[in-house]
Amino acid sequence: MSKPITLKPIRKITIEPIRPAVTVQTPKPEELAQHVADFLLKQAEKEGCQLYGIIDSARNEDVFRHLITGNVRYRSLFEGTMDEQSYGVSGFLVECKKESLLFQWMTTEAWGDSCCIFFTSKADFDNLFKHFQQFNRVYLEDDRVVLFRYYDPRVLRVYLPTCGRREIDLFFGEVFAFFSEGENNDEIIFHRKNNNQTETGVLVVSKYKISQSDVGNS
């Protein structure tokens, strides 16, 4: 595994540069996901949570067209912290509902384009918006300030396994679990905090297979 990414959020919260063991679970055959949207919605229902997403407007030029027609709530994570001209390259927090055209697009055509992640939480939209805004800009080990594009699945799935308990608690906040595409388009990666003392590590990572016919980009 790569060296842990040491991040110090702008509000100077201390983070431990610890690389823990990660528990990887292999789902049973009957648990394999057949459809991205159905899988995500069922996970949210199972957890008694709402389903949300963060979509990277810098990765896909179709984002804004779908945001406008998605009939769900959304906000740029750069809102109030950066110039409005930068919204075009920002992450957008969005509600994910079964009937939403935006959600349908995110789980079909946009899937495999490394432009969005999903998560489940019992927290409301506004509290989640405030939570994720604190990670827009972070300090690296050399004290350089950079944009943290954790809503790129390629970043999220590398970053989370490097985190220690305090960093996991800080980043997750009231989030129950994160979901993203895997290195291959036919995979869903499921990250959740490990609250089970009988399991090793602070993070549990599961990998699910999905139907190729349900993937927009192959």
Give the mean pLDDT per block of 10 residues along the chain (218 residues): 42 37 49 71 95 88 79 86 60 92 89 93 97 86 81 92 89 96 88 71 84 46
Q: Is 145 inside any structural domain? A: yes
Q: Is 90 inside any structural domain? A: yes
Please name the residues in contact with 22: beta carbons below 8 A apart, sequence gap of 6 or more: 161, 201, 203, 204, 205
C-alpha 207/C-alpha 214 separation (Å) is: 17
Q: Is 5 inside any structural domain? A: no
The whole-number pLDDT of residue 200 equals 55
The whole-number pLDDT of residue 87 equals 54
Q: Is 63 inside any structural domain? A: yes
Q: pTM (2 decimals)?
A: 0.79
For 164-216, give the DSSP string.
-HHHHHHHHTTEEEEEEE-SSTTEEEEEEE---TTSSSSEEEEEEE--GGG-S
The whole-number pLDDT of residue 5 equals 43
Q: Is 1 inside any structural domain? A: no
User: Total structural domains in the chain?
Assistant: 1
**Are 45 and 76 a contacting pair, CB within 8 Å?**
no
The whole-number pLDDT of residue 217 equals 45
The whole-number pLDDT of residue 25 equals 54
Place of tokens 């960093």: 167
Q: Is 12 inside any structural domain? A: no
The whole-number pLDDT of residue 179 equals 96
The whole-number pLDDT of residue 130 equals 95
Q: Is 10 inside any structural domain? A: no
**Are 202 and 194 a contacting pair, CB within 8 Å?**
yes
The whole-number pLDDT of residue 195 equals 75
C-alpha 163/C-alpha 181 separation (Å) is: 20
Structural domain range at position 21 = 17-214
The whole-number pLDDT of residue 17 equals 36
Q: Which helix (H) or strand (E) holds 157?
A: helix 153-159
Strand-pair partners of 114: none
Q: Is 133 inside any structural domain? A: yes
C-alpha 61/C-alpha 118 separation (Å) is: 19
The whole-number pLDDT of residue 66 equals 83
